Structure 1
């Protein structure tokens, strides 16, 4: 499997599942699911620069993008543009693309996500978009006034792994951080100011959807997990030291041997849940997303607030062990059916 398949493997004639991604640490469960089903696949690691010959035909098969909005935190600063190029090339060449260009644009923009959710009548946290951190403090002062002086969050528009998420009780607190140079600059220059809505039960819910089907829902503990609620096992460890991380925003440190994630066995039967999942399906169809994990919380004031759409969804091993259906297995089945249709 080449790191530069655009150059060396474009002449391949056997249809396969082409997994376009930049983080091998997250790929193991999907490779295992493909192998268990005998599905031919290849990894296209777009971790650095490269070349792409637009005169060449894309190789046959199904292209599946797992580009992550947090790619730049792993030093993969060109992955976004390289993935855009490969997906555009594959689509123009008539190949079946799963989570293609429109999904990528949603992955790297919470503004796109929140706007699409609002369009379909889904409640989202009150949010203000700030382009350029020079405008952030003034915007925070007026924004906090509009939410009645309540606590607010800063978030990176291109996020993932809780990037840039911090809670403030006043604009003066933010001013002190800015003065000290403690604000983490967003990669695209866009920061969101968002109301802080405390979950009523100290948790959020992540709804996993593949090909329009509900696979399962996961409860994530925000008391111990804070704002960093990536379910992949690799997310819980410092990549340099291998030690457990204290997530930003956590009230208590994670408890050794206790997972932040558990299966929500009761989810999907209540009328409001059925309606919400139906709306999620419509939003994903609007955005051209076939595989996603969507996160919401039930606030103390009774609102159900959806705040994140993850198009490179990961799955937690402990949840997978007890879930009635496997997330990676559902993806493999979906992509396998598309591969069969492409032959």
Structure 2
């Protein structure tokens, strides 16, 4: 019998979706791709395959999970299986430089960014930021990996030559213009089926002195493990996550076009607005998660919408196969 297959490497992030699938009575299997093997001469099972591989998998000792997932996706796509967030989505998930080029192709502005391979090359690249602060970040990232704020080449050189410097797992470090949000927040737009679902404003005022766009560590905060304790915010303090309608419809249209062009069905796209009101998009997250507190207040539930979307795809696929 056809079912929904979830390709992933993190049980704590996946249970929120499987709970919804069970609630809807939808058949599913999870494929944990931290390791494994596939016989390329065999035919994949029938069903809907949803890829949730994360760029930060190596931080959970799943170093080669993305590479293995790439092989699995190639196998599925070769046999014409319905894949949600296929090979192109994975390629962008693990390569921020590729993300920025995809965004720029659709006329979406990104922060000034330099890609550096090599320690000395990284330091020399700082010469291209004249009298302006910049940040470093890992090219294969997630969870704010490698994000540091610098105000001079000398400060970067000191850090890059120190024991505290952690290179990106793919050997590429990004230098990026520091975009300061005057109100200390970023906005994340969620899409399911390639269509806009909602936007959430994320307060970064409690973050450390880094790029506020990454400092919120949205991968962790938006998706607490089931056993995590929730701490209520003070009564006079707004919640860290809250729904917002302050998003330009033209920007949403560009985001949807970007997703269509890159065969991405499920994603969270993040942007930041500077003091002049200019918007810079800095991240496409194809392993998206949702904040339950913000959703409960708005009455909109991302994982439920996602489960329903996968259910519709399964029903359509089953009808075609009949």
Q: TM-score, normalised by structure 1?
A: 0.85
Determine if contact 1:25/1:234 at 8 Å carries over to the other structure: no
Matched, 1:320 2:303: no
* Partner of residue 169, structure 2: 187
Per-residue CA deviation, residues 72-93 of structure 1 (Å, 9 max, x unaligned), is 0000012011111111111111
Structure 2 match to 1:204: 186
Give the superposition deviation at 1:294: 0.3
Shift, 1:119, TM fit: 1.1
Secondary structure at 1:223 match in 2: coil
Q: CA deviation at 1:171?
A: 1.0
Q: What is the SS of the residue equivalent to 1:224? A: coil
Q: What is the total number of aligned residue pairs between the two structures?
A: 308
Is 2:203–2:216's contact at 8 Å kept on the other side of the alignment? no
The 8 Å contact of residues 222 and 290 in structure 2, kept in 1 or not, is answered as no
SS of alignment partner, residue 18 of structure 1: strand
Residue aligned with 2:218, SS: coil
Q: Give the superposed CA RMSD.
A: 2.1
The residue number in structure 2 matching 1:97 is: 83
Q: Deviations over 1:184-238 (max 9, x none)?
A: 110001111100010121100000011122111111111114414325558668x
Are positions 1:15 and 2:2 aligned together? yes
Find the counterpart in structure 1 of residue 199 from structure 2. 217
Q: Equivalents in 2 of 1:233, 1:303: separation in Å? A: 26
Distance 1:314 1:102, change over 3 A: same
Gaps of 5+ in 1: 1-13, 245-253
1:239-290 Cα deviation digits (max 9, x unpaired): 9xx899xxxxxxxxx96897521111x245xxxx110000001111111110
Separation (CA, whole Å) in 2 of partners of 1:219 and 1:21: 27
Question: What is the Cα deviation at residue 150 of structure 1?
Answer: 0.9
Q: How far apart in 2 are the matches of 1:332 and 1:233?
A: 21
> 2:153 pairs with 157, 171, 181, which one?
171
Following superposition of structure 1 onto structure 2, how do residues 121-270 of structure 1 map, counting pairs within 5 Å?
121-140=107-126, 142-145=127-130, 149-225=131-207, 226=212, 227-230=215-218, 232-233=220-221, 259-264=239-244, 266-268=245-247
**d(CA) in 1 for partners of 2:313 and 2:67?**
26
1:280 to 249, 255, 272: 255
Kindly provide the CA deviation profile for residues 71-130 of structure 1, in whole angstroms up to 9, marking residues without a partner as x. Answer: 000000120111111111111112100000000000001111111111111111111111
Contact 1:209–1:215 under 8 Å retained in 2: yes
Runs ≥4 in structure 1, deviation > 2 angstroms?
A: 231-237, 254-260
2-structure distance, mates of 1:31, 1:211: 18
CA contact (8 A) 2:6 2:28 kept: yes
State which of 264, 276, 299 in structure 2 corresponds to 1:289: 264
Counterpart check, 1:87 vs 2:69: no
Q: TM-score, normalised by structure 2?
A: 0.90
Query: 1:224·1:260 contact (CA, 8 Å) conserved in 2?
Result: no
1:53 aligns with 2:28: no
Whole-Å Cα distance in 1 between the matches of residues 16 and 67 of structure 2?
26
CA distance in 1, matches of 2:41, 2:189: 40
Alignment of 1:26-65 (within 5 A): 26-48=13-35, 50-65=36-51
